[in-house]
Amino acid sequence: MEETAPVIPDSFDDFIKENPPENKEREDTMDSRFAKERVEWTKKVNDMSTMMRKLPDVAELMTNIYTERQRAVEYYHYLIALLSKISKTYRKQFAEKYDFYSYKTQKRFPNERVKEIQIMADLAPTVSLRDQIENHSKFILETIKTIDNIIFGIKNRIDIQNIMNGK
């Protein structure tokens, strides 16, 4: 399996600024980036599954599968770290907006829920980015589980081959 350079920047500051831009372009870029990565991981898992068909390919699969699993685990933890940082940013922005709408504006809200809805509308780009990262991290976690199942299946594949050979 070939190694690809990380598509997401290593620095959180490069990934998201304190106040993310509200343009649709960044959202589309993130969607397309994650969609491309999902296609790449799906292809890797399909290739691994295909390699289980022939016993000589299983030997090669055994040497590659742990590397791919480790890459997936590291990527998952990277996404979780980003998710943690963006959640921290979101909570800070929410507190600032709540303080602003509670004490510094002339706009009055009939109840707290309406105020929260207004804040959520103001923070929509941050919420959207957080949701995208969370969704992608769940995909990577399921990919790791699928790779684990392939690892478990390797032993069974070898046992089946031994039975077919009369051992």
In tens digits, the chain (167 residues) has pLDDT values of 444 544 555 565 565 544 444 555 556 688 899 999 999 999 999 999 888 888 778 888 888 999 999 999 999 999 999 999 999 999 999 999 999 998 988 888 888 899 999 999 999 999 999 999 999 999 999 999 999 999 998 888 888 878 887 77
User: For residue 65, which of 155, 134, 133, 139 has the smallest C-alpha distance?
Assistant: 155
Neighbours of 9 (CB within 10 A): 11
In a domain, 62, yes or no: yes
In a domain, 9, yes or no: no
pTM passes above 0.95: no
Backbone angles phi, psi at 113, to 5 degrees: -65, -40
Q: Which residues contact 128 (CB under 8 A, 6 or more apart)?
A: 27
Taking a C-beta distance cutoff of 8 angstroms, is the pair 147, 72 a contact? yes
In a domain, 114, yes or no: yes
CA distance 72 to 60: 19
In a domain, 29, yes or no: no
In a domain, 132, yes or no: yes
Q: Which residues contact 146 (CB under 8 A, 6 or more apart)?
A: 45
In a domain, 34, yes or no: no
Number of domain units in the chain: 1
In a domain, 19, yes or no: no
